[in-house]
Amino acid sequence: MPFAYLYELRRGDQIVATGHLSNDTKLLTGSQISIGTHTGTVRSITPISGQNESRLIIDLPPKPPGT
C-alpha cells in the first residue's frame, strides 16, 4: 500500500512548490528525494489529522550564484 504525502519544497523560508506524492516505501527524516527536477532532503514528516496523508517538508539546497 503506497504512502501518501502532501509536500512542500522549500529553499530557506521560500516555498518553491507544493503537491501530492505517493511513495511505495515510507519516507524518513533525512532521506534524499527527487520530485521533478528538484532533489532535496526530508526535513520533517507530520501526520495530518483526519486524513490518510502526512505533511512532508523537503529542504532544497541553495541556488548556485548567478542562477
How many CB atoms neighbour CB 63 within 10 A?
10
What is the pTM for the complete model shown?
0.87
* Measured distance CA(58)–CA(30) in Å, rounded: 9
pLDDT classification of 63: cutoffs 50, 70, 90 = confident
pLDDT on residue 38: 92
Give me 6's grid cell.
502532501
Given a cut of 80, is residue 11 above it in pLDDT?
yes
